[in-house]
């Protein structure tokens, strides 16, 4: 797991809690070149899920349906129970759930499967700035390279 390189005392990226340890939206730099943001889970988030970071810094598993309301896309590197607080990675080299057969080094898209991405084109769900580094022979969470990740909505087929 990556570690914080910011001078914020007490940051433990794999730790979750029922009460906040930081202000929601606190962002730290990571040793893999990415960032992580402190959030509250609005519903249970499993390890390696892609999440929709909402304007109030709550997160829900990302789907094509809810992607339009995202202010950012994050990646949970540890499970966060509903109503608990924790960190999600915004960039760098996070592991991310993808569907079976997802290929490396191609654009990824949102899916109807909460928290999982795929290389199958979805008109309004391109997750720009993210690629998997290996293929997924079975549903897995390969390491990805993420830089300024966001979902492009309203694209025409």
Please give the mean pLDDT across all residues of the chain. 90
C-alpha 48/C-alpha 51 separation (Å) is 9
What pLDDT is recorded for position 137? Answer: 65
Q: What is the pTM of this model?
A: 0.90
In this predicted model, what pLDDT tens digit does every residue of 48-59 receive, in sequence order? 999 999 999 999
Pairing verdict, β 35-41 and 58-61: parallel
In this predicted model, what pLDDT tens digit does every residue of 98-144 receive, in sequence order? 998 888 899 999 999 999 999 998 877 899 999 988 877 665 788 88
Q: Region 72-91: what's the mean pLDDT?
A: 97
Picking from 54, 66, 55, the residue whose alpha carbon sits closest to that of residue 124 is 66
Joined together, the tokens standing for residue 77 give 């590197």
């Amino acid at each position: 797991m990556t570690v914080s390189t910011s001078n914020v005392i007490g940051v433990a990226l794999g730790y979750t809690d029922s009460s906040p340890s930081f202000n929601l939206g606190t962002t730290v730099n990571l040793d893999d070149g990415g960032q992580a943001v402190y959030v509250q889970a609005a519903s249970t988030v499993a390890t390696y899920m892609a999440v929709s970071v909402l304007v109030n810094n709550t997160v829900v598993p990302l789907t094509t349906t809810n992607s339009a309301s995202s202010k950012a896309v994050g990646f949970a590197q540890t499970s966060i129970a509903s109503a608990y607080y924790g960190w999600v990675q915004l960039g760098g080299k996070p592991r991310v759930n993808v569907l079976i057969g997802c290929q490396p080094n191609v654009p990824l898209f949102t899916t109807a499967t909460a928290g999982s991405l795929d290389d199958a084109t979805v008109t309004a769900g391109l997750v720009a700035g993210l690629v998997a580094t290996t293929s997924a022979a079975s549903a897995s969470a390969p390491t990805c390279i993420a830089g300024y990740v966001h979902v492009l909505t309203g694209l025409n087929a």
